[in-house]
Each structure stands twice: as structure tokens, then as C-alpha cells.
């Protein structure tokens, strides 16, 4: 597929500087791109490559001031990174447009219902009363348990497993190997030291416009629903426990774990390998630094925390500075002690 600078500029509402008819057929990193490729520049530290790249078209920010001659055609936009994402999304949709029909072998229950323009890959399983919306793409080896609902325009990549009664909204992407609706970790301690399993009879609800990375697990609720709200973005290798709620447009990085019944607010950002214990409330707009351990609720919106146990980010930075200065502070104290002792010996002070 080929696209001209005019077509790209129309798509992202950009302003062209250079040849409007130059065409590209693929994408490349700015520092590696060749003729006929589209690249972008969002991070100023890569600006030097702007003057040496072979890319035919480059998307740049409106604020960029060109310092040398450039052979490529530029398309200026308010946010180059976001605009490049728009182009990649459109390209992906075009590439997926050819995925249609039902491959064999598959199992589709007689009671399952499927919409229009769908794709179901080989070795997939659709249980009783499954409902598939329009334009859904189901890649090979996907398992959908009884009563699962997949709404319009959602994509399930290879090996996704969605257990019974779970509901997936519109425009949701779930990447390879993810398990949704497995049993929550519910065990009642017994007097003899053993554990009795607590049946998990709830479900998982994933609302619209959510993206879930590969090999993430989202446990079904004990009673009620584990909920991932609209616009949330989950990275690879995340554990979401039973009855957790993740708020609108919250982003969680890889290897994080959210324990049971914790409620995460909207627009929260959680760094990689962070851990949050159960039954907490995390306020809207909270920022949790990577590898932080959150052991109590965060009730003030837009709070930033770090460390384990996690505490206020700015206080943590001050503590780190003080800890690095401890050897020097120790030497100063010893010097002062020696000075005081000398003054005592000289009868200058009592």
C-alpha cells in the first residue's frame, strides 16, 4: 500500500513542507529509515538524525525549528507521536480488513451467535450462548467459555482464554496468552491449618476501548464483577485479582500486581513491578513509581508515591539525598564532637 504526503496530511490534519506528492509504502525509525519510508520525530534527542535520514516523509511537531537543509518532506502537527499513532492505527485496520471468515477446524456451539464481518481463526472454541459482535477478529487457539460476550470491533490475539460469563466491550484489544476470568485466589483458612477453596462465581467486565497486553491475568470476582473500565491500558504480565476495579484511562506497566478488592481510580499511572495490597482505595490521578509497594489507601487525588512501603514522592527524593550524604554528615558530627572536647579541655566551655 502506498500513501502520498497529501493523504497522510489529510488523515492527521497536518501541514506539508516539501513535495506533497511524494509517496511512502512502509515505516522506519528516523535513524534507520530508507527512501520510500515514513518516520517521525517527537523526542528532541533524535533531532540530529533529521538531517541525515533517508526517509521520504517525516512527521514533526509544529514547534520544531529546522537548523539544516532537509531532503525529506515534513508534515507538521501539534503532537508528532500521537499523529504517528493515528497513522499506525489506520494502517493496522487496513491490514486486518482482509481477515474474514471462519477457518477450520474450529468448534462453535449451536447456541453461539456471531455478527457480520468477523474472523475466527483455526483451533478456536466458542462455547454455549457466546455472542460475537460485528467486525470482531478472533485469532487461532482462542477459548471463549459459555455465555461470553465480545462486542463490536474487538480483537483477541492468539491463545487468549476468556472464561464463562465474562463480558468484553467494544474496540478492545487483548493480546496473546492473556487469561480473563480465571478463578480468584480465594481460600478460607481452617483450624487444622489447611485451606478450603471459596468458589468464585462472579465474572470479569472489560469496558470499551481497553487494551490488555500479553500474558496478563484478570481473575473473576468471588461475587459480582472484576471491572476494567473504559480506556484503561494494561501492559504485559500483569496480575489483576478478584473484585478489583481499574478506573477509566488508567495505565498499568508490566509485572505489576493488584490484590483483591482494591479500587483504582481514573487516570492513575502505575509503574512496572509495582504491588498494591488488597482492599485499598487509590485516588484519581495517582502516580505510583516503578517497584513501589503500596500498603495503604491513597485518598488525595494526583498524589505521587514511590518506594516500599510507598510514600510521598518528593519526601522520598529528599530522603534519598540525605541517605547519600550520611557519610559526610557522620564525619561532620565526629569533627564537632572532637572540637567540643578540645574546648572543654581548654576550659573554654563547661
Angle, nearest 10°, between helix axes 5-12 and 80-96? Answer: 110
In a domain, 229, yes or no: yes
Q: What is the mean pLDDT of residues 316-325?
A: 79
Find the CATH number of the domain harbouring 269. 2.160.10.10
Residue 312's pLDDT band, with cuts at 50, 70 and 90, is confident
Closest residue by Cα to residue 72 from 33, 45, 107? 33
Cα gap 32→46, rounded to integer Å = 12
Q: What is the mean pLDDT of residues 63-89?
A: 95
Find the CATH number of the domain harbouring 76. 3.40.1390.10
In a domain, 137, yes or no: no
Same domain assignment for residues 339 and 302: no
Q: Where in the sequence is the domain holding 338, given as residue range(s)?
A: 315-345
- 242 has catalytic annotation: yes
In a domain, 333, yes or no: yes
Domain count within the chain: 3
Q: Residue 317: is its pLDDT beyond 70? A: yes
C-alpha cell, 22: 511524494
Neighbours of 295 (CB within 10 A): 13
Cα gap 317→313, rounded to integer Å = 6
* pLDDT, tens digit (0-9, with 9 covering 90-100), for 145-180: 999 999 999 999 999 999 999 999 999 999 999 999
pTM of the model: 0.84
Give the position of cell 499523529.
83
In a domain, 147, yes or no: no
Q: What percent of the chain has pLDDT over 70?
A: 99
Same domain assignment for residues 211 and 263: yes
* pLDDT, tens digit (0-9, with 9 covering 90-100), for 172-204: 999 999 999 999 999 999 999 999 999 999 999
Residue 96's pLDDT band, with cuts at 50, 70 and 90, is confident
Region for 159 from its dihedrals, namely left if φ exceeds 0, alpha if ψ lies in -120 to 50, beta otherwise: left
Neighbours of 217 (CB within 10 A): 18
Burial 333-343 (b: 16+ CB within 10 A, else e): eeeeeeeeeee
At 115, give phi and psi (nearest 5°). Answer: -85, -160
Same domain assignment for residues 29 and 83: yes
Same domain assignment for residues 209 and 326: no
| Active-site residue identified among 163, 242, 279, 315 | 242
Domain end residue (candidates: 41, 65, 96): 96
* pLDDT, tens digit (0-9, with 9 covering 90-100), for 259-269: 999 999 999 99
Following DSSP, what letter does each residue of 189-208 receive, concatenated?
Answer: E-TTS-EEE-----EEEE-T
Return the pLDDT at 63: 95
Q: What is the mean pLDDT of residues 251-277?
A: 98
Q: Residue 350: is its pLDDT beyond 80? A: no
Return the pLDDT at 80: 97
In a domain, 121, yes or no: no
- The DSSP secondary-structure symbol of 49 reads G
Same domain assignment for residues 293 and 341: no
Same domain assignment for residues 299 and 210: yes
Cα gap 127→147, rounded to integer Å = 7
Q: What is the mean pLDDT of the chain?
A: 94
Cα gap 169→178, rounded to integer Å = 16
Question: Which of 32-36, 217-221, 313-317 has the lowest average pLDDT?
Answer: 313-317
Closest residue by Cα to residue 19 from 76, 73, 77? 73
- Strands in 239-303 per DSSP E: 239-240, 245-246, 251-252, 257-258, 263-264, 269-270, 275-276, 281-282, 287-288, 293-294
C-alpha cell, 88: 499506525
Return the pLDDT at 94: 84
Amino acid at each position: 500500500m502506498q500513501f502520498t504526503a497529501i493523504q497522510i496530511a489529510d488523515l492527521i490534519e497536518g501541514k506539508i513542507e516539501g513535495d506533497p506528492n511524494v509517496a511512502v509504502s512502509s515505516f522506519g525509525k528516523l535513524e534507520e529509515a530508507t527512501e520510500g519510508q515514513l518516520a517521525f520525530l517527537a523526542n528532541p534527542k533524535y533531532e540530529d538524525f533529521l538531517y541525515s535520514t533517508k526517509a521520504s516523509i517525516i512527521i514533526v511537531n509544529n514547534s520544531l525549528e529546522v537548523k539544516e537543509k532537509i531532503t525529506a518532506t515534513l508534515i507538521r502537527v501539534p503532537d508528532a507521536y500521537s499523529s504517528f499513532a493515528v497513522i499506525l492505527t489506520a494502517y493496522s485496520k487496513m491490514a486486518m480488513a482482509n481477515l474474514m471468515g471462519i477457518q477450520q477446524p474450529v468448534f462453535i456451539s449451536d447456541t453461539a451467535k456471531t455478527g457480520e464481518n468477523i474472523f475466527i481463526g483455526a483451533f478456536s472454541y466458542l462455547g454455549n450462548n457466546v455472542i460475537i459482535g460485528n467486525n470482531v477478529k478472533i485469532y487461532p487457539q482462542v477459548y471463549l467459555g459459555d455465555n461470553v460476550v465480545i462486542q463490536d470491533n474487538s480483537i483477541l490475539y492468539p491463545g487468549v482464554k476468556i472464561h464463562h460469563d465474562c463480558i468484553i466491550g467494544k474496540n478492545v484489544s487483548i493480546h496473546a496468552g492473556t487469561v480473563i476470568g480465571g478463578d480468584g485466589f480465594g481460600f478460607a483458612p481452617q483450624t487444622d491449618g489447611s485451606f478450603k477453596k471459596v468458589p468464585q462465581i462472579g465474572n470479569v467486565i472489560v469496558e470499551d476501548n481497553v487494551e490488555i497486553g500479553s500474558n496478563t491475568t484478570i481473575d473473576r470476582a468471588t461475587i459480582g464483577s472484576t471491572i476494567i473500565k473504559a480506556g484503561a491500558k494494561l501492559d504485559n504480565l500483569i496480575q489483576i485479582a478478584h473484585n478489583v476495579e481499574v478506573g477509566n484511562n488508567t495505565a498499568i506497566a508490566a509485572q505489576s500486581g493488584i490484590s483483591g478488592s482494591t479500587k483504582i481510580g481514573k487516570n492513575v499511572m502505575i509503574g512496572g513491578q509495582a504491588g498494591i495490597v488488597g482492599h485499598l482505595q487509590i485516588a484519581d490521578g495517582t502516580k505510583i513509581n516503578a517497584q513501589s509497594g503500596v500498603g495503604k489507601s491513597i485518598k488525595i487525588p494526583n498524589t505521587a508515591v514511590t518506594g516500599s512501603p510507598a510514600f510521598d514522592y518528593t519526601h522520598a527524593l529528599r530522603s534519598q539525598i540525605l541517605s547519600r550524604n550520611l557519610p559526610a554528615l557522620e564525619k561532620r558530627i565526629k569533627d564537632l564532637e572532637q572540637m567540643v572536647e578540645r574546648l572543654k579541655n581548654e576550659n573554654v566551655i563547661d
